A = this chain, B = another copy of it.
Amino acid sequence: MYSLYHAPLSPFCRKVRLVLAEKKIEVKLVEERYWEKDTDFLRRNPAGKVPILRANGKNMPESQAICEWLEAKHPEPALMPEDADAAYEVRRLCAWFDDAFFNQVTSNLLYERVNKKVQGAGYPDSSKVKAGAKAVKFHLDYMAWLLEKRRWLAGDVMTLADFAAASHLSALDYTSDVDWARHDVVKEWYAKIKSRPAFRGILSDVVPGFMPPPHYADLDF
């Protein structure tokens, strides 16, 4: 059986958890206080990051590389299209969310307000929070622009790109940082993905000291 070393609100961990759950792969979740840089943890992963998938006696870091590996080892249901152009679009959007969205939104909002407090790393930087609150609007607009042309973010089937996006948005929703009223198409997309059985684990996450809003786990939000 696999183990996944993770942190509850980490979007990169959530992406891997969603893939594991969607593919119905059994996994033991181990919560990791990665910022404490515990020696055992650093031996598993010198980069000091989560997620790490432990499989067949090996420790595997890097969320996107893990997801590609899971896709190869457990191809059903497919989350990466076989067609090269369609696969490009999935990978482009995964990078968009895990790089641009992460740096402009997630790290400015979630990391400033929640991670800093949990890790005892000081107070939120209000200029960062402001920048994040502004950037999330632009990103929701971009998602709406995509979803007006497509059923799912990367095309007409659900893919890893939807999981990458939903991982960031669900973590931000925990702190009420997503304005779902901004675009109906985005809200409908999130309602669809949120109602999948794979999402259940994520919706039951609790971070001590932070209560999610009532709509967080509500499928009719």
Contacts and interface: CB of A to CB of B under 8 A. Distances in A.
A124 to B, nearest CB: 22
A63 to B, nearest CB: 9
B65 A88 contact: yes
A78 interface: no
A138 to B, nearest CB: 9
A95 interface: yes
Chain A contact surface mostly: helix
Nearest to A60: B88
Interface residues of A, number: 23
A68 interface: yes
A15 to B, nearest CB: 13
A61 interface: yes
A85 B65 CA distance: 10
Interface in A19-72: 46-47, 60-62, 64-66, 68-69, 72
Given A47-B100, A100-B47, A65 B92 contact: yes
Nearest to A47: B100
Contact of A91 (B46, B64, B92, B100): B64
A66 B95 CA distance: 11
Contacts of A60: 88, 92
B100 A87 contact: no
A95 B95 CA distance: 11
B100 A88 contact: no
Contacts of A47: 96, 100
A84 interface: yes
Interface in A73-102: 73, 84-85, 87-88, 91-92, 94-96, 100
B72 A84 contact: yes
Nearest to A71: B84
Contact of A65 (B66, B91, B142): B91
Interface of A: 46-47, 60-62, 64-66, 68-69, 72-73, 84-85, 87-88, 91-92, 94-96, 100, 142
